[in-house]
Structure 1
Amino acid sequence: MGGWRDMSAEALEQQYSPSRWSPRLGSDTIIQAHIAATAAGTQRARAGAETSLHVPYGAGEGERLDIYYPTEPSGTFPALVYIHGGYWQCLSKDESGFAAPPLVSRGVAVVAVGYDTAPRGRLDAMVLQVRRSLVFLAQRYPGIRGIYLCGHSAGAHLAAMALSTDWSEYGAVPDIRGAVLVSGVYDLEPILHTYVNDALNMSREVAQRNSPVLCVAPAPAACEVLVAVAQHDSPEFRRQSREYGQALRAAGWNVSLLDLAGVDHFDIIEKLSEESYVLTQMILNMVSRA
């Protein structure tokens, strides 16, 4: 059969260590550089926008979100909901507002979602938290006209799980009109065999239940999905993006695949702070089409 099942443990660890694949920086420095870049970008965004910070969407410690309002909000406005990465065990909403400046200046609110990361948080709970944050937005902020999900890495996984939701169980249906999934993981089974699972402590059952590629929902009437991957993502990350995009397409979803040249697992998302960046422009175009 080939594929990841035939890899040695060492090869699998390499494939699922994004920091080892960047040509820009060494694996020991690139993660610190990423945290610094996103934190600084978030500070700039908070200084330059009207915000509601640390808004509780539930009772849990991590169940908070930050809202960056459009510079000139009309009565209603679209919202980009950003779900951070960090392999489900690091980062937070406090480094997740860096994409706001070019979007709020064009009338789009940005919402950075917090969730309980591992080891305190468990994967089932994180998926539920993200879903509940979207229901909260739909119920509490009637001014939001259309939700656009954007997730990076583990956050792309959580956003993809939100796309698989049966909302009939939640009391409200978020108006999700688009999703931008960036350098994500959509099949969690390989993760079971890597260091990443040390903190997550997933069983095979949990991994399968929370693998977006295994639980693709029927295609909604109007939701556009962009699955983006970096040239300098690992072959496994690139395979996962391709196969998840194919699974969505097979189920009738409106999906595009974007293979971005010249970027790695980290700057593919960091550059969302720039209005001229291709992914920023694609988000703005997606919002304008709805």
Structure 2
Amino acid sequence: MGTWRDMTKEELEKQYAPSRWSHRMDKEVVIEAHVRAVTEGTRRAQATMQTLLHVPYGGNDGEKLDIYLPTDPSGAFPLVLYIHGGYWQFLSKEVSGFIAPPLVTQGIAVVAVGYDVAPKGHLDVMVAQVRRSVAFIVQQYSKISGVYLCGHSAGAHLAAMVLSTDWEEYGVTPDIKALLLPCRSDCSAVTLSLPREVAWRNSPILGVTAATPARKACEVLIAVAQHDSPEFHRQSQEYFQALRSAGWRVSLLDIADTDHFDVIEKLSQGGYILTQVILNMISRA
């Protein structure tokens, strides 16, 4: 299979429709089940965890964070910042706290990032908002022992864009120790009907630069679901190769028996492989 540029519109729509590749459920049912799973998981987390909800990091209505704090937040603690997916068009921080329980119980703070999805949010705006959320949280909590970015699908794209941030513009230097990118999607002019130049300047693979000594300290894990589209597998492999060629510490993990949706839903489980990867990354830091 060639790149998305070689596909017909129908082929491209199929490749970019992850619900059509699920091995578990019908394409409509799997989306409904995903929304239900992350919503119920977030409700459970908020009912049992110490939280700070709707914390503004900017002036727009969508620029808010939900913070899940460890039992004793007075000392230093690592922080996992989660950026939701939804094709840059739906879902929200309000259904993004489901990953918190197995991490918070290990003394790790979790922050769910809100951003303005399309059509309200332009892709440039989304990228800038996520960058500002990182700058805000490290300024808010001076005792953070390291930031770990986790983004799913479109959220993984936004997390990857953080790697190319010029932090001098924000007046901070976040100690980003790792990125976990399950089912990373790249933007395309077809996906959001974007002008080509907008899609290109917001494409992480086009922004890959040589890893500096400081950047080599940041570990990148690209995870892909077994039952995701060949195009998503190709994008993940291509991004992995680009980072590795540029000298980054990067690995690629194919998660068996998962699709685009349960690969992230299972982060609510302490024994899940990606949950254990996050915990291992933090313990090694």
1:208 aligned onto 2:200:
yes
The DSSP-based 3-state class of the residue aligned with 1:261 is: strand
| Residue 243 of structure 2 corresponds to residue 248 of structure 1 | yes
- Helix, strand or coil for the counterpart of 1:270? helix
1:51-94 residue CA offsets vs partner (Å, 9 max, x unmatched):
10000000011000011011344511000000000000100000
Match of 1:76 in 2: 76
How do 1:275-286 residues align onto structure 2 when only pairs under 5 Å count? 275-286=270-281
Match of residue 132 from structure 1: 132
More off after superposition, 17-26 vs 217-226? 217-226
TM-superposed CA distance for 1:18, in Å, is: 0.4
Structure 1: which amino acid aligns with 2:278?
I
Pairs within 5 Å for 1:256-267: 256-267=251-262
1:143 shift after superposition: 2.2
Where does 1:1-290 land on structure 2 (aligned, <5 Å)? Answer: 2-73=2-73, 75-186=75-186, 188=187, 191-193=188-190, 196-197=191-192, 201-219=193-211, 220-290=215-285
Quick check: 2:216–2:249 contact (8 Å CA) kept in 1? no
Cα-to-partner distance string for 1:204-228 (whole Å, 9 max, x where unaligned):
0000000000001332141011000
> If the length of structure 2 is used for normalisation, what is the TM-score?
0.96
The one-letter code sitting in structure 1 at the alignment partner of 2:196 is R
Identity of aligned residues (%): 64
* CA distance in structure 2 between the aligned counterparts of 1:121 and 1:3, rounded to whole angstroms: 27
Supply the distance in 2 between the matched residues of 1:178 and 1:252 (Cα, whole angstroms).
15
Q: Which runs of 5+ in 2 are unaligned?
A: none
What secondary structure does 1:171 align onto? coil
Whole-angstrom CA distance in 2 between matches of 1:72 and 1:142? 15
Please tell me whether the aligned partners of residues 216 and 247 of structure 2 are also in contact (alpha carbons under 8 angstroms).
no
Amino acid at match of 1:59: G
How many Å apart are 1:32 and its aligned residue?
Answer: 1.1
Q: Distance in 1 between matches of 2:2 and 2:133?
A: 39
For the residue of structure 2 that corresponds to 1:121, the secondary structure is coil
The answer on whether the counterparts of 1:165 and 1:217 sit within 8 Å (CA) in structure 2 is no
Q: Residue type of the partner of 1:164?
A: S
**Preserved CA contact (<8 Å) 1:103 1:284:** yes
Gaps of 5+ in 1: none
Letter in 2 for 1:260: I
Work out the CA distance in 1 between the residues paired with 2:45 and 2:217: 30
Shift of 1:117: 0.5
Counterpart contact for 1:163–1:217, Cα < 8 Å: no
Native 8 Å contact 2:79 2:148 kept in 1: yes
Q: TM-score, normalised by structure 1?
A: 0.95
Shift of 1:267: 0.1
Contact 1:164 1:216 (C-alpha < 8 Å) held by counterparts: yes
Q: Return the alpha-carbon distance in structure 1 between the equivalents of residues 189 and 26 of structure 2.
A: 25
- CA root-mean-square deviation: 1.2
Other structure's SS at 2:282 match? helix
Matched residue SS, 2:145 = strand
Residue 164 of structure 1: how far off its partner (Å): 1.4
1:273/1:7 Cα in 2 relative to 1: closer, same or farther (>3 Å)? same
